[in-house]
């Protein structure tokens, strides 16, 4: 599979971007599978092709895995946005972007300038980092204090749900009381700001924990199920298959579903 390497998040972007990943694809004649795993977070994707064409895309929340034939992408950067940040940056409810990939220009007037050709060949990564460091914070400055407060509630709720790995589940009603809002209001905020309701958010997070620890725990699935927050091993296997399309053992052995063409 393509090599994914973490990159340092520049200071101006840390409150909006949780991580930056550089995805190094193989040469055009080495088409290895691309696996897009479930992810409740929205991402900005910057990519260039071997033909030197660039694009900035928005990958909305992904509720199920997809498997694709490899692409000719010599440069691909993924900016994973923090919960609550995507709604502020893009200006649309995240429910509109669930399981979709759209060009940033559809949501953001003037986005085309972010992918203008670099001054020197090979300067793509440095160029897009510099432009996004200026452009993303600038998108937030015009938001109202109420918008910022809603974004902070979404961030705090997502963090609370993610912190439950291997612990007793904290009901959304308890989280709402702690944040001094009604449960209904918080559920609406999460759907609007993340794209999926809290329960589905938790399902995605549990499967992502299995993906993160699966290769080290394949000899003890029951232990992995408990660590990831499932009731038992059968619960984990059923949820994993629903979201990933194959059982855990098949996935980690490389037995993947049929590849799709993008």
The 10s digit of each residue's pLDDT in 193-228 is: 999 999 999 999 999 999 988 766 666 888 889 888
> Is the per-residue pLDDT at 246 higher than 70?
yes
Q: Tokens 């000719």 map to which residue?
A: 72
Which pLDDT does position 109 carry in this prediction? 84
* pLDDT average, residue stretch 59-80: 86
Per-residue tokens: 162: 């993610």
Task: Give 212's contacts (C-beta < 8 A, 6+ positions apart).
Answer: none
pLDDT band at 164 (very low <50, low <70, confident <90, very high): low
Which pLDDT does position 173 carry in this prediction? 95
Per-residue tokens: 115: 């992918």
Q: What is the pLDDT of residues 130-144, one digit of tens each?
A: 889 999 999 998 899
* pLDDT average, residue stretch 116-120: 56
Per-residue tokens: 259: 């590849």
Considering only 147-161, 172-186, 248-262, which range has the smallest mean pLDDT? 248-262
Which pLDDT does position 113 carry in this prediction? 76
How many CB atoms are located within 10 Å of the residue 46 CB?
A: 24
Domain boundaries, the chain: 3-141, 145-199, 205-252
> Is the per-residue pLDDT at 28 higher than 60?
no
Judge contact between 83 and 194, C-beta under 8 A.
yes
pLDDT band at 129 (very low <50, low <70, confident <90, very high): confident
At 259, give phi and psi (nearest 5°).
Answer: -75, 140
Mean pLDDT of the residues in the chain: 87
Class of domain 205-252: mainly alpha
Which pLDDT does position 47 carry in this prediction? 85
* pLDDT average, residue stretch 18-29: 71
* pLDDT average, residue stretch 227-245: 94
């Amino acid at each position: 599979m393509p090599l994914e390497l973490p990159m340092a998040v520049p200071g101006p972007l840390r409150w909006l971007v949780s991580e930056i990943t550089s995805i190094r694809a193989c040469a055009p004649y080495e088409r290895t599978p691309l696996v897009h795993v479930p992810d409740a977070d929205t991402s900005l994707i910057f990519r260039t092709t071997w033909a030197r064409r660039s694009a900035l895309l928005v990958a909305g929340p992904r509720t199920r895995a997809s498997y694709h034939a490899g692409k000719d992408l010599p440069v691909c950067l993924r900016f994973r946005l923090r919960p609550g940040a995507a709604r502020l940056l893009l200006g649309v409810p995240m429910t509109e972007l669930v399981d979709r990939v759209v060009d940033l220009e559809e949501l953001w007037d003037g986005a085309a300038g972010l992918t203008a050709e670099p001054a020197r060949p090979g300067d793509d990564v440095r160029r897009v980092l510099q432009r996004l460091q200026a452009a993303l914070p600038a998108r937030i400055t015009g938001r109202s204090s109420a918008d910022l407060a809603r974004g902070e509630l979404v961030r705090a709720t997502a963090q609370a749900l993610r912190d439950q790995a291997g612990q007793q589940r904290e009901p959304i009603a308890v989280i709402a009381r702690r944040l001094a809002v009604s449960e209904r209001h918080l559920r609406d905020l999460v759907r609007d700001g993340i794209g999926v309701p809290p329960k589905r958010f938790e399902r995605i997070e549990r499967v992502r924990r299995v993906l993160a620890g699966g290769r080290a725990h394949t000899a003890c699935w029951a232990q992995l199920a408990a660590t990831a927050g499932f009731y038992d091993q059968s619960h984990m296997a059923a949820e994993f298959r629903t979201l990933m399309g194959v059982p855990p053992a098949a996935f980690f052995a490389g037995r993947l579903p049929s590849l799709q063409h993008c």
